[in-house]
């Protein structure tokens, strides 16, 4: 079985540094059936950490299956949101930026 850490590392490998130029953002991933992680995107870099960020810009709440589907391209993030499989807290527009930062 793929772990949340594996999925997030896959995301990190797809990171589009040019889309992150000038950004300073923290994306928190709260995984209902796994461990939480957060990504710090700052000036073209991406740093993955396990746990909870002190002050995330946006928190995305989902289960492991939804995260895996979104990161692999099998699931559309907006459809998951509309279906209630993905919830967002904080700056919801930043959740849309993830598609540019981590193209599938």
Answer whether 11's CB lies under 8 Å from 102's CB: yes
> How many structural domains comprise the chain?
1
Q: Taking 80 as the threshold, does the pLDDT of residue 1 lie above it?
A: no
Q: Taking 80 as the threshold, does the pLDDT of residue 12 lie above it?
A: yes
pLDDT band at 3; cut points 50, 70, 90: confident
CA end-to-end distance (rounded Å), the chain: 21
Whether the predicted model's global pTM rises above the 0.85 cut: yes
Long-range CB pairs of 16-19, under 8 A, 24+ apart, other chains included: 16/100, 16/101, 16/102, 16/103, 17/44, 17/45, 17/46, 18/44, 19/97, 19/100, 19/101
pLDDT for 10 equals 86
- CATH at 46: 3.30.1050.10
For 19, the domain range is 4-101
Tell me the pLDDT tens digit for each residue of 36-95: 999 999 999 999 999 999 999 999 999 999 999 999 999 998 999 999 999 999 998 998
In our burial notation (b when 16+ CB lie closer than 10 A, e otherwise), range 44-61 reads eebeeeeeebeebbbbbb
Average pLDDT value for residue range 3-13: 86
């Amino acid at each position: 079985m793929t772990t949340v850490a594996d999925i997030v590392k896959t995301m990190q490998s797809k990171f589009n540094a040019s889309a992150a130029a000038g950004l300073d953002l923290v994306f928190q991933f709260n995984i209902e059936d796994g461990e939480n992680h957060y990504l710090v995107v700052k000036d073209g870099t991406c740093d993955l950490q396990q746990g909870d960020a002190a002050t995330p810009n946006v928190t995305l709440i989902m289960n492991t299956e939804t995260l895996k589907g979104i990161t692999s391209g099998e699931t559309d993030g907006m459809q998951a949101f509309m279906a209630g499989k993905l919830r967002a807290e904080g700056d919801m527009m930043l959740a849309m930026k993830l598609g540019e930062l981590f193209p599938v």
